[in-house]
Amino acid sequence: MKEGKISKNLTRILSSVILFPLFAVLLVFANNVVMDVFLGIISVLCLYEYYRCFTETKKANPSEYVGYVVAILIMLFFINGHITGYSFEMTPELIGLLLPISLLVLICELILSKGKKNIIDIAVTMLGIIYIPYMIMYLSMIRQFVDIGQPIGNILIWYAFISAWGSDIFAYFVGRRWGKHHFTKVSPNKTIEGCIGGICGALVISIIYTIAIRKFLPIIPDLVDLNVLKMAIITIVLSFIGQIGDLAASSIKRYCGIKDFGDIIPGHGGMLDRIDSVIFILPFAYILLALFVI
């Protein structure tokens, strides 16, 4: 049993060591169009994993095509804005119209389905659309933060990932070592100690990151209010939200009776398993950074 756990942990570590640098390079250096295509692919893949867990367990019969079309259209809206120079501020408003249109399509399908579709199918389909492509699009929006030609967004986006993955890592190890008090049946392995440890771990990484930016990229604090205390508070809030996001994904898997959304990433499960907390954080990171930092 111990050898199996060691092998699984080693697989997780190797996957992270290989994939994280590739992702970091893409996140920092990819141009907007490349990033839009990448996020579109990730959205479709995550939607596939999400819908599959309902269809394969027969918990619901979502209209998958509606989710895929929305994810692709969001990608195309962003690409169009970047290529044509069309006002980027209008892109989220145009994308917002996809929600009522999607609901209209689903209701029409329900009416015409002769009982093959029900309100649960519509709810599951709409949840997938809001939960995945709509939240993921905020990554692209954060990267658009620019000041005097400086790519501020490429610096600030890391607070979202520090809050998510820093929390995941420290919550896992602290929970395994000291976790005793379980606080929700949604995910029985989650403990209060792990939750606190995750927030503290993300906080430490965030402080180190902020100090490093102020020291090695002194132009950045001159352009935005990169105060150490302020960024620490934002990280605490985002870390807490990220853990809620993790529990949200756990509740879906628990309802469907599955362990992971997929197995595309060795040792980590599916793509959605890896970014479930990040997805929840992105919209709130955008709001907090726009209000208190930019």
Domain boundaries, the chain: 31-144, 148-294
Which conformational region is residue 85 in: left (phi greater than 0), alpha (psi within -120 to 50 degrees), or beta?
left
Query: Which ranges of 113-191 does DSSP label H, i.e. alpha helix?
Result: 119-129, 135-143, 152-161, 167-178
Which helix (H) or strand (E) is 267 found in, with range?
Answer: none
Give the pLDDT score at 84.
79
Half-sphere exposure of 282 (CA within 13 A, CB side): 21
Give the pLDDT score at 9.
56
Give the pLDDT score at 282.
97
Q: What is the pTM of this model?
A: 0.92
Give the pLDDT score at 29.
85
Would you state the structure tokens that stand for residue 157, as one six-digit string? 């986006």
Report, as ranges of residue numbers, the positions in the chain whose pLDDT lies below 70. Answer: 1-18, 85-90, 147-150, 267
pLDDT in tens, 24-71: 888 888 888 999 999 999 999 999 999 999 999 999 999 999 999 999
Burial of 5 (0-12, 13-18, 19+ CB in 10 A): exposed
The torsion angles phi and psi of 150, rounded to 5 degrees, stand at -90, 130
Half-sphere exposure of 8 (CA within 13 A, CB side): 8
Give the pLDDT score at 8.
53
Give the pLDDT score at 111.
96
Give the pLDDT score at 92.
73
